[in-house]
Amino acid sequence: MRHLKLIRNMRAQSDLWFADYLLRIGGGTKEVNGDGNVRIPDEIYVPYSYDAEKDLHTLIDIIFSDLNANMADKEYITTRAILSTRNDWVDMINMKMIDMFQGGETVYHNFDTTVDDPHNYYPSEFLNSLTPNGLPPHVLKFKLRCPIILLRNIDPANGLCNGTRLMVWGFRRNTINAEIVVGQHARKQVFLSRIPLCLSDDEMFPFQFKRKQFPIRLSLAMTVNKS
């Protein structure tokens, strides 16, 4: 217990240092070089070796050190994530990381349909390949205790809002049993089901389609906006 408290205190101190460091950069009080650039301290960046696969594994090992030993620790799971700028990269990292989790996996596929497409110009295989902003991917792969993030406002009064983070505790054919792990509704058990999801107004597709799927995705990796 003493060792665990020491680790948490070290994490808290590290988080405070990093937050202060970012504030100093944003406030213009951090020293810069002659070109106006800020040198990132060695202890907070991962060297790049030009081997994408190797570098990704190094990043995962650093951010999620001892993953299998800590996957049941809610604080461990919800206080770290790998951030990216693109949904396809996020999905790739999440799929790679869920394979590292212990235990059997459950896979859910979505159901895509176009709106007003009588000639079937956009077959389901094509729609399945799309991952617009705000929609879950075609394939969702989960394991027990994996972290997920909600993509829609379902029941804000009970904590089910866009961006709510949860942990999976059980699977059914059309429902997922999960627990809210952050905020004032933490520890509340909920059941999530598939719902029809539409594209946001920001997506510039020449057609409209609906995706029936669980309004969630893995949150081991997330987009910068979603974080």
Per-residue pLDDT of the chain (227 residues; tens, 9 = 90+): 443 344 444 455 566 777 787 788 777 777 777 787 887 777 777 778 888 888 888 888 888 888 888 888 888 888 888 888 888 888 899 999 999 888 899 999 998 888 887 777 888 888 888 888 788 888 999 999 999 999 999 999 999 999 999 999 999 988 999 999 988 899 999 999 999 988 776 667 778 888 899 999 999 998 887 76
Token pair, residue 201, equals 């107004």
Q: Could you tell me if 32 and 59 lie in one domain?
A: no
Q: Could you tell me if 104 and 14 lie in one domain?
A: no
| Residue 155, domain extent | 53-223
Alpha-carbon Rg for the chain, nearest whole angstrom, is 20
**Length of the chain in residues, anyone?**
227
CA 198/CA 175 separation, integer angstroms: 20
Q: Could you tell me if 33 and 139 lie in one domain?
A: no
**165-to-31, 33, 120, 218 alpha-carbon distances in Å:** 36, 39, 37, 9
pLDDT of residue 4: 39
Q: Could you tell me if 4 and 106 lie in one domain?
A: no
Q: Could you tell me if 93 and 8 lie in one domain?
A: no
Q: Could you tell me if 117 and 39 lie in one domain?
A: no
Q: Could you tell me if 58 and 30 lie in one domain?
A: no
Task: Say what the pTM is.
Answer: 0.78
pLDDT of residue 217: 92
**Helical segments of 27-161, H only:** 52-63, 67-70, 74-78, 87-98, 124-128
Q: Could you tell me if 60 and 41 lie in one domain?
A: no
Q: Could you tell me if 4 and 92 lie in one domain?
A: no
Q: Could you tell me if 108 and 201 lie in one domain?
A: yes
Structural domain tally of the chain?
Answer: 2
